[in-house]
Structure 1
């Protein structure tokens, strides 16, 4: 069902892009023809309608009506259509286009109001679900799904926002579990991830400063673009580290929540785990295996009764039956896991 939905979604997007591109190419040909020169006013009106109105209508039927995207996205499509029409039509034939541009301020106000309403709804929903959610990222994902629905690209947006949130606010936050019976296990301390990240950050800062000065002699714009990308990469790495701290592995009475920061996540009922054994490097691993270790080979391999769905960055998904992981307090984890599940850790 999911595969069929994705195929239909991709087909609708391809149809829209193909038809919009065809309209644009046809209008370019008309503007360059002798017919346009003979009656420019009539053709300018027709071209303005084709590009500024027909393309948004196609977008509505192929994307919005199919519930791939929210209706508010019609606004940027309409504005982009106006820009395209302005590029194709000669400047002296922009009279009809200028009339349509008068509605842009009202549309901008509509978009701003929509964003404010949705953000307030997400914040309200987040406060409701945060107390029961194990992780802030789970609460955020559930809140956005409630308010926005299952939108295309939502996983990408949530990943970027969560990493930036961790990079900025992670310094001031610590993980707090909701139940005293929850067993919390870290996996980032003994791996040396903090020291490695510190070295990378220092090298990145030095290289960015040096290359910025070098690029400045050629192009100031290129230098600042490079510096901006480097700064964003730095925030991304810091956010990834704090995501590790704020997303530990949680063992509950009946569930094992596995996390590798925001990279991978899965919640496993304990009765679905057949065994947790030591990792053996010589053993062959197939597509049903996923390593959730930070670096190198994992220390443990978890076996499941049936295939499980593991979620990754930017909406990535994997179906596996074996999961490799490394835990700082490995011995304690195995003892707790065996105590809470009769068949676990054997």
Structure 2
């Protein structure tokens, strides 16, 4: 019988330090803006205070959701929820192959950001694009045909492959490969 397995992706990520810095920045900015704007524009001060409180609550919720929602393999399905930001669900039968991966750079040394790729990483992709900061890329899963992923604000997007920046990515890949072999073996006998 195949069991359900969970794999974390946040423990070795740089996201925790970014998270602390952003929370710290939001709280300081909230206090400073509120003190300054309260004298000048009290209505705007209240709006800014509400927006800052919302952003702090959103970041806390996103981080806790990411910590408590590891990447899972449930029977023959892989479930990847990256906090409240992105998600991808696919069947093992949709995988073409898995191979070791590395970040690709252009001639000037910038990171090449491929299209139609799902990044299984805790670190926000926008910061990788802007600053060139990223967690360590381990493997990539290539699909036979594009699958649907959910992005920011529920946007659906086609994805051709998944780049894994996980804590124990080799264990995850080994388990997927083992389950694919079991699935292929059982379909041959049926």
* TM-score, scaled to structure 2: 0.77
Of 310, 313, 317, which residue of structure 1 is paired with 2:149? 310
Structure 1 residues 1-346: aligned runs within 5 Å: 181-282=3-104, 286-295=114-123, 296=134, 298-342=137-181
1:276-334 superposed Cα distances (whole Å, 9 cap, x missing partner): 22223238764332323233263321101111111123220111211112111122212
Q: 1:219 to 1:285 in 2, by over 3 A?
A: closer
Aligned partners of 1:191, 1:288: CA distance in 2, in Å?
A: 23
Aligned partners of 1:184, 1:290: CA distance in 2, in Å?
A: 19
User: Which secondary structure does the structure 2 equivalent of 1:303 belong to?
Assistant: strand
Q: Which residue of 2 aligns with 1:45?
A: none
* Structure ranking higher in strand proportion: 2
User: Which secondary structure does the structure 2 equivalent of 1:266 belong to?
Assistant: strand
Instruction: Mark the runs of 5 or more structure 1 residues left unpaired by the alignment.
Output: 1-178
Of the two, which has the highest radius of gyration? 1
* Structure ranking higher in helix proportion: 1
For the 8 Å contact 1:248–1:261, the answer to whether it is kept is no
Instruction: Mark the runs of 5 or more structure 2 residues left unpaired by the alignment.
Output: 106-111, 124-133, 183-190
Bigger RCO (CA 8 Å, 6+ sep): 2
For the 8 Å contact 1:264–1:292, the answer to whether it is kept is no
- The alignment of Structure 1 onto Structure 2 pairs a total of residues equal to 166
* TM-score, scaled to structure 1: 0.44
Q: Which residue of 1 aligns with 2:127?
A: none
1:58-83 superposed Cα distances (whole Å, 9 cap, x missing partner): xxxxxxxxxxxxxxxxxxxxxxxxxx
For the 8 Å contact 1:262–1:312, the answer to whether it is kept is no
